[in-house]
Structure 1
Amino acid sequence: MSAVHPFYLSVTEIRYNAPRQALEVSCRIFADDLENALKKYNHTTLDVMKPSDRPAVDSMISRYLRQHLRIKADGRDLALRYLGYRIEDDAAWCFLEVPALPVIRQLDLQNDILYAEHETQSHMIHTVVQDQRKSVKLDNPKKDASFRF
Structure 2
Amino acid sequence: MNSKIKYGVFFILVLLFSSFSLHKFYVSVTQIDENVKKGRIEISSRIFIDDLEKALDKKNNKKLFLATTKELPEAKQLIQNYLADKMRVTINGKVQKLVFLGSEYEDDVLICYLKVDNSQKIATFEFFNAILTEIYSEQQNLVHTNINHNKKSFLLTNSERLANIEN
**TM-score, normalisation: structure 2:** 0.81
Give RMSD over aligned pairs. 1.7
Aligned pairs for 1:5-24 within 5 A: 6-24=24-42
1:39 aligned onto 2:69:
no
Higher relative contact order (CA 8 A, sep 6+): 1
Q: What is the distance in 1 between the residues matched to 2:110 and 2:69?
A: 12
1:29 aligned onto 2:43:
no
Bigger Cα displacement from structure 2, 103-112 vs 53-62: 53-62
Q: What is the distance in 1 between the residues matched to 2:39 and 2:70?
A: 35
Identity %: 34
* Structure 1: segments with no counterpart, 5+ residues: none
1:62 counterpart (80, 86, 89):
80
1:125 aligned onto 2:143:
yes
Per the alignment, do residues 129 and 87 of structure 1 end up closer, same or farther by CA in structure 2, a change over 3 Å counting?
Answer: same
- Aligned residues of 1:35 and 1:48 also touching (Cα < 8 A): yes
User: What's the counterpart of residue 49 of structure 1?
Assistant: 67
1:77 aligned onto 2:95:
yes
1:114 aligned onto 2:132:
yes
* Structure 2: segments with no counterpart, 5+ residues: 1-21
One-letter amino acid of the structure 1 residue matched with residue 146 of structure 2: V
Whose strand proportion is higher, 1 or 2?
A: 1
One-letter amino acid of the structure 2 residue matched with residue 68 of structure 1: K
Once the two structures are TM-superposed, the CA of residue 102 in structure 1 deviates from its matched residue by 2.1
Q: What is the distance in 1 between the residues matched to 2:107 and 2:23?
A: 13
Structure whose CA Rg is larger = 2
- Aligned residues of 1:51 and 1:57 also touching (Cα < 8 A): no
> Residues 92-143 of structure 1, C-alpha deviation per residue, up to 9 Å, x if partnerless?
1111111243222221122111011001000111111232111111122211
1:146 aligned onto 2:131:
no
Q: What is the distance in 1 between the residues matched to 2:118 and 2:69?
A: 32
Per the alignment, do residues 55 and 106 of structure 1 end up closer, same or farther by CA in structure 2, a change over 3 Å counting?
Answer: farther
Whose helix proportion is higher, 1 or 2?
A: 2
- Aligned residues of 2:133 and 2:157 also touching (Cα < 8 A): no
Q: What is the distance in 1 between the residues matched to 2:72 and 2:101?
A: 13
